[in-house]
């Protein structure tokens, strides 16, 4: 009897071992890119990779993600996870006709061909590099007459239209929340304004929450809060 019991316990132990090992094997097989490498990200950002048709990101977004062209956003000091998600959303996924992030009229932006040849590892590397860079050339607000309206929307939202306070997600000083929401402080106001309108039209369809929020905002609301956000520090 004891021998039978021992054999049963041994068999149970082996089965338990299978159940313990299998999830770890499955997790390993389903694992994504290796640990992000900021050094490799810097190299790809600054030099690109001609052999794969990847242009240096710095040519449009500036040294360390500090852009001098309002059409090309500042990327420095944005959350690593956020940057990675956006790069993925610029890509046309298998079976899809267009990416989740598009420009006016639903047309792909120049970022789609730029991102298409990036591997998951490239994306993680570049995103980590940019997240570690300081924002040394922040944009500023430009309209003094919009400050009061912009502050109202940023801090308190528009309760009558169910628009929440921007500060609730992007933080009071506009620095964003790591892993979730982008930094808007120091971003070009014209760029923020354009993105809110793209969210509203759903041409930029990679954030249902932002579509709902922007859909309740007027052009004047969007312009005011975009300018205010850019001037936050």
Same domain, 97 and 126: yes
Exposed/middle/buried for residue 157 (C-beta within 10 Å: 0-12, 13-18, 19+): buried
Same domain, 126 and 155: no
CATH number at residue 118: 1.10.760.10
pLDDT in tens, 110-164: 999 999 999 999 999 999 999 999 999 999 999 999 999 999 999 999 999 999 9
Structure tokens at 115: 């991102």
pLDDT in tens, 164-173: 999 999 999 9
Tally of domains within the chain: 2
CB 194 within 8 A of CB 74: no
| Residue 70 scores a pLDDT above 90 | yes
| Residue 187 scores a pLDDT above 50 | yes
**The residue count for the chain:** 233
Predicted model pTM: 0.85
| Residue 9 scores a pLDDT above 90 | no
CB 42 within 8 A of CB 127: no
Of 109, 131, 153, the last residue of a domain is 131
Percent of the chain scored above 70 by pLDDT? 86
The answer to whether residue 72 sits within a structural domain is yes
The answer to whether residue 47 sits within a structural domain is yes
The residue whose two tokens read 């360390």 is 64
Same domain, 125 and 162: no
Where does the pLDDT of residue 224 fall: very low under 50, low under 70, confident under 90, or very high at 90 and above? very high
Of 131, 153, 175, the last residue of a domain is 131
Percent of the chain scored above 90 by pLDDT? 84
Same domain, 107 and 182: no
By residue range, what is the domain housing residue 55?
38-131
| Residue 195 scores a pLDDT above 90 | yes
pLDDT of residue 31: 55
Same domain, 127 and 169: no
pLDDT of residue 32: 63
Q: In 3D, which of 196, 68, 41 has the Cα closest to residue 131?
A: 41
C-alpha to C-alpha distance for 78 and 75, rounded to whole angstroms: 6
Residues 6+ apart with CB under 8 A from 121: 33, 34
Query: For the residues 173-181, what does the mean pLDDT come to?
Result: 93
């Amino acid at each position: 009897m004891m021998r039978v019991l021992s054999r049963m316990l041994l068999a149970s132990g082996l089965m338990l071992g299978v159940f313990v090992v299998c999830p770890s094997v499955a997790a390993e097989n389903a694992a994504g890119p290796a640990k992000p490498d900021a050094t490799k990200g810097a190299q790809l950002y600054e030099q690109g990779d001609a052999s794969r048709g990847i242009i240096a990101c710095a040519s449009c977004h500036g040294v360390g993600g500090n852009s001098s062209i309002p059409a090309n956003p500042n990327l420095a000091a944005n959350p690593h996870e956020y940057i990675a998600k956006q790069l993925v959303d610029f890509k046309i996924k298998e079976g899809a006709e267009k990416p989740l992030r598009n420009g006016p009229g639903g047309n792909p932006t120049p970022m789609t061909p730029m991102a298409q040849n990036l591997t998951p590892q490239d994306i993680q590397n570049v995103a980590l590099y940019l997240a570690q860079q300081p924002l040394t050339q922040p944009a500023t607000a430009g309209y003094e007459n919009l400050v009061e309206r912009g502050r109202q929307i940023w801090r308190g939202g528009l309760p009558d239209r169910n628009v929440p306070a921007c500060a609730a997600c992007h933080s009071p000083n506009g620095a964003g929340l790591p892993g979730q929401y982008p930094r808007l402080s120091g971003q070009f106001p014209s760029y923020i304004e354009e993105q809110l309108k793209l969210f509203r039209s759903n041409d930029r369809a990679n954030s249902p929450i932002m579509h709902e929020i922007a859909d309740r905002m007027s052009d004047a609301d969007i312009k005011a809060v975009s300018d205010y956000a850019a001037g936050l520090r």
